[in-house]
Chains A and B, each alone.
Chain A
Amino acid sequence: EPEVTQTPSHQVTQMGQEVILRCVPISNHLYFYWYRQILGQKVEFLVSFYNNEISEKSEIFDDQFSVERPDGSNFTLKIRSTKLEDSAMYFCASNSAEQYFGPGTRLTVT
């Protein structure tokens, strides 16, 4: 069964460093998303991406965040200068009708 994959599963980085979180959405899906979940909290929408451009972004998705689809399969989230409060689980998702989530990347900023 096709699935969304994400790498790495865990990432530890120092404050101020750049990180790139990678995702491979399900191959015939057209819509891609990033969400985050701070420990113990609900899942929050960051950004959606369609037809090689951002279709919607939340107020969380400020200038330190960017997304890219560098080739036909990968979908990346870059955080330019990480802050302590960026520590969270980051989920990639994709859908045709139902939205499927990847296993997540746990980002820890120290």
Chain B
Amino acid sequence: AQKITQTQPGMFVQEKEAVTLDCTYDTSDQSYGLFWYKQPSSGEMIFLIYQGSYDEQNATEGRYSLNFQKARKSANLVISASQLGDSAMYFCAMREEETSGSRLTFGEGTQLTVNP
């Protein structure tokens, strides 16, 4: 069964607008962590933001915020004030058991294109 689902293969946004990239997950664990990574065309995986399952508040890092809805099992990434450099592939990932040593399971990714 798919543990991480990203239903948007591609998204387009105008520069300076906000965009939401969807991610839903499936786990029976009470304790888990959710991650978002950016992969530009150069190929590296850049850590963006992390949300722990017990965190009460949504995580924010600069222009990135994670809209965590635990009951819906969703962890959408919101990018505010999009920039041309935000054009990249974005991956949602989950670590079950919110301890440091567990593997990450990735979604299929969403290709974001920011238009000028």
The chain A residues found within 8 Å of chain B, CB to CB, are: 30-31, 33, 35, 42-45, 48, 50, 55-56, 58, 89, 91, 93, 95-104, 106
Contact = CB atoms under 8 A, between A and B. Distances in A.
Nearest to A35: B104
Interface residues of B, number: 21
A56 B99 CA distance: 14
Which 6 A-B pairs rank lowest in CB-CB distance, beginning with the nearest? Answer: A101-B45, A45-B103, A43-B106, A103-B44, A31-B101, A42-B106
Contacts of A96: 100
Contacts of A100: 47
Contacts of B107: 42
12 contacts: A33-B104, A42-B91, A42-B107, A43-B45, A44-B106, A48-B101, A48-B102, A56-B103, A95-B100, A96-B100, A99-B47, A101-B47
Given A42-B108, A96-B100, A98-B50, A104 B91 contact: no
Nearest to B45: A101
Contacts of A97: 50, 100
Contacts of B101: 30-31, 48, 50, 55
Given A33-B104, A42-B107, A101-B46, 19 more contacts: A31-B100, A42-B109, A43-B45, A45-B105, A50-B101, A89-B43, A91-B45, A93-B45, A95-B100, A96-B100, A97-B50, A97-B100, A98-B50, A99-B35, A99-B47, A101-B45, A103-B44, A104-B43, A104-B45
